[in-house]
């Protein structure tokens, strides 16, 4: 990927491409990858001391790679995919460990809940780092797959939107969703840096998009403020982003979950999973929609700074 350069920042996004099957199934590769992830998950759980050592001193993922040299279970596994599996296992273990620590520190009235258990299996999509793919020409590439117990280079076709030349593609991630296969490419490009807020404010005139956050009817009130060389500030435009419908749908789903909680009297793992997944997906999509609307409004009025209200009062309180 791109390296840092003076005077430029790096913009990132991803491109999702449809991977066309040609008689080869990636499920064998995915299953083997998750078995290796589980192997290293158990190893990290048994010996987590490697997490406190910097990678530059053979710690982190490098610690567990060196520890398993010569192990027959991962002996024939490709090194790039093995390292990706180690990093995935470390992330999974750290997630479980932090959840377990939060469970230990819960108030006594919540102690009857079962503690989070270690995952017995995983369903991660394999990350294809350099060395696991090659010869990408924009419509096809070679992937190293596990075919009948042997690692082979297999050429695949894929369909993707035209990526502008200024964007640089990184190593893809193979996503297996049901019967569909996808390639997810990380993209990066250089963007001229603004010089920071001090440089912008030293200009004779500039525009700022101020965002006033609200929890009621309007989730955001956007104001374009123009400051001239005399230090005077005037409001040029204002825009309201309404969230009434979104809040109503959120309350409806939370109400349904509350009713089920009252009916069961106990909350187990996976309780009201369908409602929570629907609620989480809607919150993520709405946050992206609001973000896009704010940015487009600021760009339309040529604002160089987007300033948000400081919501320190809404930070969670530690007990």
Q: What is the mean pLDDT of each run of 10 residues along the chain (319 residues)?
A: 85 91 80 95 94 91 93 91 95 94 77 80 90 90 91 91 91 81 91 80 86 84 90 91 90 89 77 87 93 95 89 61
CB-CB contact of 55 with 62 (8 Å): yes
- pLDDT in the model for residue 285: 94
- pLDDT in the model for residue 314: 62
- pLDDT in the model for residue 188: 95
User: How far apart, in whole angstroms, are the C-alpha atoms of residue 248 and residue 256?
Assistant: 12
State the fold for domain 198-266+277-310. Nucleotidyltransferase; domain 5 (3.30.420)
CB-CB contact of 187 with 168 (8 Å): yes
User: How far apart, in whole angstroms, are the C-alpha atoms of residue 100 and residue 96?
Assistant: 6
**Per-residue buried b or exposed e for 14-52, using 16+ beta carbons within 10 Å of the residue's own CB:** ebebebeeeebebeebbebbbebbbbbbebbeeeeebbe
H/E element, 14 = strand 8-20
User: How far apart, in whole angstroms, are the C-alpha atoms of residue 261 and residue 268?
Assistant: 10
- pLDDT in the model for residue 116: 86
User: How far apart, in whole angstroms, are the C-alpha atoms of residue 199 and residue 197?
Assistant: 5
């Amino acid at each position: 990927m791109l390296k840092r350069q003076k005077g430029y920042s790096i913009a990132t996004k991803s491109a999702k491409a449809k991977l066309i099957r040609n008689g080869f199934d990636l499920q064998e590769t995915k299953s083997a990858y998750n078995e290796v992830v589980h192997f290293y998950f158990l190893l990290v759980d048994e010996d987590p001391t490697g997490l406190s050592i910097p990678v530059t001193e053979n710690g982190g993922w490098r610690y567990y790679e060196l520890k398993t040299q010569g192990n027959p279970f991962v002996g024939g596994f490709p090194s790039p995919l093995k390292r990706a599996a180690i990093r995935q296992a470390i992330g999974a273990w750290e997630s479980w460990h932090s959840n377990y620590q939060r469970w230990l520190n819960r108030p006594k009235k919540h102690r009857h809940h079962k503690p989070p258990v270690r995952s017995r299996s995983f369903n991660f999509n394999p990350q294809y780092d350099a060395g696991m793919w090659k010869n990408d020409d924009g419509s096809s590439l070679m992937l190293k797959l596990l075919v009948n117990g042997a690692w082979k280079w297999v050429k695949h076709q894929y369909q993707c939107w035209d990526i502008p030349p200024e964007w640089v593609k990184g190593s893809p991630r193979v996503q297996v969703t049901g019967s569909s296969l996808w390639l997810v490419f990380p993209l990066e490009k250089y963007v001229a840096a603004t010089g920071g807020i001090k440089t912008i404010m030293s200009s004779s005139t500039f525009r700022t998009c101020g965002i006033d956050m609200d929890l009621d009817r309007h989730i955001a009130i956007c104001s374009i403020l123009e400051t001239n060389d005399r230090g005077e500030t005037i409001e040029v435009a204002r825009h309201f982003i309404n969230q009434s419908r979104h809040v109503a749908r959120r309350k409806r789903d939370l109400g349904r979950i509350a009713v089920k909680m009252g009916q069961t009297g106990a909350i187990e793992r996976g309780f009201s999973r369908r409602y929570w997944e629907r609620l989480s997906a809607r919150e993520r999509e709405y946050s992206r929609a609001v973000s896009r609307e704010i940015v487009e409004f600021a760009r339309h009025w040529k604002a160089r700074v987007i300033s948000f209200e400081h919501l320190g009062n809404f930070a969670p309180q530690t007990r």
